[in-house]
Structure 1
Amino acid sequence: MRTVRPSRDGTAVAPVLVLTQITSLQVGSAVAKGAYDHVSPTALAGMRLTFSAMIMWVLVRPRLRQITARQWRAVISLGIVFAAMNMAYFQAISHLQIGVAATLELLGPLMLSIVLSHRLEHLAAALLALTGVLLLTTSGASLSPLGILLGVLAALCRAGYVVLNQQVGRLFPDWSGLAVALAVGACILAPVAAVTDAGAIAEHPAVLETGLGVALLSSLIPYSLDMAVLRRIDTRAFGVLLALSPAVGAGVGFAVLHEHLAVRQACAIALVVLASAWSVSRSPHTAPIPSPAPTSADDDQPIKDTEHQAQA
C-alpha cells in the first residue's frame, strides 16, 4: 500500500487547526444554548446538521454515482454518528454547563488516545490530560445525572467520529465524503426535529438564523478542520490535542455566559494544556497516512480522481 508522509509544516500546523476548530465549536455551542428559551436542543441539533449539509453540498457537489460501496459504508456510518453526537451533546448542554459537557465529551477521544498509545510518553500525556478532564468535572456542585449520561453518550459518539472521520478523509480525495455524511446525518435528525419542535420554529422564525450560525460555527467549520487535521496526524495525537476543549469551553463560558472558574478548574485546565503541549512536542514530525486501498471486485468502480489524492 502506498503511503503519503506529511511534511514538517503539515504536522506543525495541526495544533493551530485544532485550536481553531475547538474555539469555533465552543462559540457555536454557547450561541445554541442561548436560544434554548425559544427552541429545543433537538430542533437546534437538527438545524445544525441540515444547514451544514446544505452548504457543504452546494460547495462540493458530490458525484454520488462515483462513490464505491466501501465509501458508502464509511459515509453512512459517519452520518449516523453525526446525528447521534449532535443530539446527545446539544441535550447535554441543556442540563450541564458548556465546560462540563465539553469535558465529558472529551473523554471519548482521550480514551481512544490511551488505547492507541504505543509509547510511554504518549500514554503519560493522555493520562495527564484525562486527569485534568476528570478534575475539571468535579466543580463541587451537583451535576444532573441525565446530563452526565448524555455527556458520556456524546463521548462515545465523539470517539467513533474521530475514527470514522479519518477513514472518510482517506477514502475520498476531496470533501465529498464529508458532504454526503452530513446529508445522511441531516436526513436522520431533521425529521425528528421537525416533528418535535415545528411549532416553536414557526412561532420564532428568527431561530433559523441562529441555527444557520450554529451550523457554521459548530459543524461546518469544525468538521472541515477535523478532516484536514486527521490527514496530517494520527488519531492518538488528535485525541490529546482535543484536551484543549475544556479550557476553551471554560473561556467561552466566562466570556459569553459569565461562568466563573474555581481554582480547581483552573488547575485542571493547566493540566490539559500541559498534556497537549507535551503530546505535540513528543509526536514524530511525520506519520504515514495510507492512501485509499483499491476496491474489490464486489465494489463499484473507484472514483476517477484518485491520483489527485489530497496530500497533507
Structure 2
Amino acid sequence: MTTDSETRPGLTGGVAAAALMAVGSMTLVQLGAALAKPTLESFGPLGTTWLRLAWAAVLLVLITRPRILSYSWSQWRGAILLGAAMAGMTLCYFQAVNRIPLGLATAIEFLGPLGVAALGMRRAWHALWPVLALAGVVLLVHDGSAWTVDPVGAGFALAAGLGWAIYILLMKRVGQAFDGLQGLTMSIAVAAVVATPWGLAESGGHIPPAVLGITIGLAILVPLLPYALEMMALRRMPTRAFGILMSAEPALGTLIGFAVLGQALSPAQLAGIALVVVASLGAVAGE
C-alpha cells in the first residue's frame, strides 16, 4: 500500500488504473459469490471455500514461482498472519452467503472496514458514522419485532467483517515486504492450509470430479483475481481513495444478488444498505 505522496508522481495514469482495478475486484468478488451459490448448497460452503483457496494457491505458485527459502522470518510472519485472516474472512463470508442474501452479507461484513476507519477518527462528530452504520445493520436484520434474516448467517457476516478488518491492516505490510505478487502467493497458500481441516471435515474427503472443475473457475473469480487486483491497486492509489471506492461494494452486492440470484430486498433493507454505504463514505472521506 502506498502513501499519498508516493502515488502523486503517477497520479493521472496510475490512480485511474488503480480505480479500475478496485472496481474490477469488487465486481469479481460479488459475481464469484453469486455464481458459487449452487456449489455452496450442494458441496457445502466450507468445502467449496477450501478448494477455491487451494486452487488459487496452486495457480499463484505456478505463476509467481516464489523464492520460499529466501524469505526472512519477518516476511513469513506477515504472510502467515494475513493468510490466517484471509481464511477466516473467506470461510465466514461464504457461510453467510449460503444463509442470507448476498447484499445483506456484504453490507454487514462491511462493518469491519468501517471499524478500521473509525479507529483513526479524530473528531467527536465522526462517531456519527459508526452509529449510522449500526442503524443500517439493524434495518437489515430486524424489523422491530422479529429477525428478518438468519441470525447465524448475520453472525458469520460479522465474523467475516472482523477478518476483513485484519486483512486491511496486514495487506499493506505484506504488499511492501514482498516483490510482485509473492506475498499474496504465500498468504493464500497459508489460507488454504488453515482452511483444510474445515473443508475436509465438511466434505468427508469425498470430492466429486465435477466440483474440482467448477472450483478452479471459482478460484480465479475469488480469491485469485480480486486479491491480486487489490494489492496492485493499493500500490498505485491513496488508501483514502481506495476506501471510498470500496464503499460501493454493499450496493454492488445487492445489484448482483438481484440480477443473478433474484434476491429481492425489502424497502427497509435497501434503506439499511444505503445507510451502511453513506456511513462508509463519510468515515473514509473524513480521514
Q: Is TM-score (shorter-chain normalized) higher than 0.5?
A: yes
Answer yes or no: is 1:210 the counterpart of 2:211: no
CA distance in 2 between counterparts of 1:106 and 1:142 reads: 19
* Cα distance, 1:60 vs structure 2: 0.5
- Give 1:92's aligned residue: 96
- State the Cα deviation string for residues 101-155 of structure 1 (Å, max 9, x = none): 111111100111111234789x489559736853662474622221122111111
1:169 to 163, 167, 175: 175
* Residues 115, 272 of structure 1: alpha-carbon distance in 2 compared, 3 angstrom cutoff: same
* Residues 147, 270 of structure 1: alpha-carbon distance in 2 compared, 3 angstrom cutoff: closer
* Residues 37, 282 of structure 1: alpha-carbon distance in 2 compared, 3 angstrom cutoff: closer
2:150 to 120, 144, 148: 144
- Give 1:82's aligned residue: 86
**SS across alignment from 1:143:** coil
* Cα distance, 1:209 vs structure 2: 2.3
Contact 1:133–1:243, Cα closer than 8 Å, also in 2: no
**SS across alignment from 2:265:** coil
* Residues 157, 125 of structure 1: alpha-carbon distance in 2 compared, 3 angstrom cutoff: same
CA distance in 2 between counterparts of 1:176 and 1:271 reads: 37
Q: Which amino acid aligns with 1:224?
A: A
* Residues 58, 89 of structure 1: alpha-carbon distance in 2 compared, 3 angstrom cutoff: same
- State the Cα deviation string for residues 216-252 of structure 1 (Å, max 9, x = none): 1110111011112222345555444322111111111
Contact 1:95–1:144, Cα closer than 8 Å, also in 2: yes
Name which of structure 1's ranges 155-164 and 30-39 shifts more when overlaid on structure 2: 30-39
- Give 2:160's aligned residue: 154
CA distance in 2 between counterparts of 1:127 and 1:149 reads: 18
Contact 2:82–2:171, Cα closer than 8 Å, also in 1: yes
- Give 2:133's aligned residue: 130
CA distance in 2 between counterparts of 1:256 and 1:61 reads: 36
TM-score by length of 1: 0.78
TM-score by length of 2: 0.84
1:192 to 176, 198, 217: 198
- The structure that is helix-richer by fraction is 2
Alignment of 1:1-312 (within 5 A): 5-7=6-8, 8-9=11-12, 10-118=14-122, 123=126, 127=130, 130=133, 133-134=136-137, 137-138=140-141, 140=143, 142-198=148-204, 201-202=207-208, 205-233=209-237, 235=239, 237-271=241-275
Query: In angstroms, what is the RMSD of aligned CA positions?
Result: 2.9
* Cα distance, 1:76 vs structure 2: 0.6
* Cα distance, 1:13 vs structure 2: 4.2
Contact 1:112–1:239, Cα closer than 8 Å, also in 2: no
CA distance in 1 between counterparts of 2:237 and 2:131 reads: 20
Unmatched tracts of structure 2, length 5 or more: none
CA distance in 2 between counterparts of 1:15 and 1:278 reads: 19
CA distance in 2 between counterparts of 1:24 and 1:250 reads: 14
- State the Cα deviation string for residues 169-189 of structure 1 (Å, max 9, x = none): 011121111001111111121
Q: Which amino acid aligns with 2:103?
A: G
Aligned length: 279
